[in-house]
Amino acid sequence: MRVLFTLALLCTLAITALGQQRPQLSQYMQNNFLINPAVAGIESYADVRSAFRNQWVGVEGAPVTFYTSINLALNKPDRNTRSIKHFKKNGHKVKSGGGSNYRVAPHHGLGAVAKVDRAGLLNTSALNVNYAYHLPITRTLNLSSGIYSGFTQFHINRKNMVLQTTDDPFLNADDLNMMKLDLGVGLWLYSSSFFVGVSGAQLVHSGNDVYNVEDGPRGMMQPHYYVTGGYRLPISYNLDLTPSVMMKVAANKQTAVDLNVKALYAQKVWGGVSYRHKDAAAVMAGVYLNHLVDVSYSYDFVTSEMSKARANSHEVMIGFKLNNPQKILCPQWVW
């Protein structure tokens, strides 16, 4: 089972890849920075997030993913403005999201992401650094653009291989242990009530992205494209509802669509549901413990053929808001 599963994963590195190469995550709406570098520095604090995902629990060799990300704003003039608690104390009406009380000024954003993904015999490690620039278009509408660059390393654990064909050139090719350049760009249009983003990842080819019959196949990172959007609906004074959507396009025009709905209550507790077309449905919840720490959890129910193996998934995330003088409880611009 492990060999067959790994062979399927290795095929995603070949030129004829049919699927997505990037890790599947359910709680990306809690960290849109992962899929769009233009989000870097959108908040007034340094946003640090770590997550662990155990996918298809019970299936031998199933993917396990861990990542840590950080992004922060540079020279953001509004980061020392009065806190939401100040507005409430002085009788001002504040929506649960909080973003409507602030106007974005031009500023820079920086960030970094480190990821480790293990699936069968294939181990993938990535490190990227990000830059973004945020510019107000009108009093309420803002546009940011971003870029990231870094390296992704693929490593095959040959020690645990059990081969039926020992001279298979695909599994014995030295180039299966390789490091590749990664580059991505993105745009993020946002206000206090909606956001729309477009981004691309793995947009460059490395020098070893070739297929040589004599030397065996060599891996190729396929471009991935994302389109996201969401709208915040104020249901009551303490309750916001945010429907959102993400469309992913990978190699050979492989397309996937996620539909999400998230409810936030009193800037402290949130819950949501997500549906990935022909793949899985997820339920998730989180709590903002204080202005420093928040935690969240999601559980995926497989709706594809993998459901026969009862292969569901768990994902846990913890976030830290560092250098947060306004004592902001929940994100103001990304929700």
| DSSP per position, 58-75 | TSTT--EEEEEEEEEEES
Q: Quick one: how far is CA 165 from the chain centroid?
A: 38
Helices (H), 21-102: 84-89
Residue, of 12 and 148, whose pLDDT is higher: 148
Residues present in the chain in total: 335
> Is residue 86 scored above 60 in pLDDT?
no
Give the closest residue to 2 by CA, choosing from 156, 128, 129, 108. Answer: 156
230 near 190, Cβ under 8 Å? no
Q: Which residues contact 8 (CB under 8 A, 6 or more apart)?
A: none
Q: Label residue 29 exposed, middle or buried (CB < 10 Å: 0-12, 13-18, 19+).
A: buried
Amino acid 161 reads M
Amino acid 221 reads M
The predicted pLDDT at position 277 comes to 87
Burial 69-83 (b: 16+ CB within 10 A, else e): bbbbbeebebbeeeb
Amino acid 94 reads V
What is the average pLDDT across 61-70? Answer: 91
pLDDT digits (tens, 9 = 90+) for 126-135: 999 999 999 9
Q: Quick one: how far is CA 220 from the chain centroid?
A: 21
Residue 209: pLDDT band (50, 70, 90) is low
What distance in Å separates the CA atoms of residue 198 and residue 37, rounded to the nearest whole number? 10
Token match 């861990």: residue? 66
Token match 């994902």: residue? 315
Give the closest residue to 313 by CA, choosing from 327, 302, 305. Answer: 302
282 near 273, Cβ under 8 Å? yes
The predicted pLDDT at position 43 comes to 93
Residue 168: pLDDT band (50, 70, 90) is low
> Is residue 186 scored above 60 in pLDDT?
yes
Largest CA distance in the chain: 76
Least confident window among 136-140, 170-174, 191-195: 170-174
> Is residue 165 scored above 70 in pLDDT?
no
Tell me which DSSP letter residue 266 carries.
T
- Which H/E stretch holds residue 216? strand 216-217
315 near 51, Cβ under 8 Å? yes
The predicted pLDDT at position 332 comes to 86
The predicted pLDDT at position 14 comes to 36
Please give the CATH topology (third level) of the domain spanning 2-322.
Answer: Porin (2.40.160)
Q: Which residues contact 195 (CB under 8 A, 6 or more apart)?
A: 32, 188, 189, 228, 229, 230, 333, 334
Residue, of 325 and 15, whose pLDDT is higher: 325
pLDDT digits (tens, 9 = 90+) for 259-291: 999 999 998 999 999 999 888 899 999 999 999
Tell me the percentage of the chain whose pLDDT exceeds 90: 52
pLDDT digits (tens, 9 = 90+) for 220-243: 788 999 999 999 999 998 999 999
Q: What is the CA radius of gyration of the chain?
A: 21
Parallel, antiparallel, or unpaired for β 216-217 and 178-190?
unpaired
9 near 119, Cβ under 8 Å? yes
The predicted pLDDT at position 290 comes to 95
Residue 251: pLDDT band (50, 70, 90) is confident
Residue 5: pLDDT band (50, 70, 90) is very low
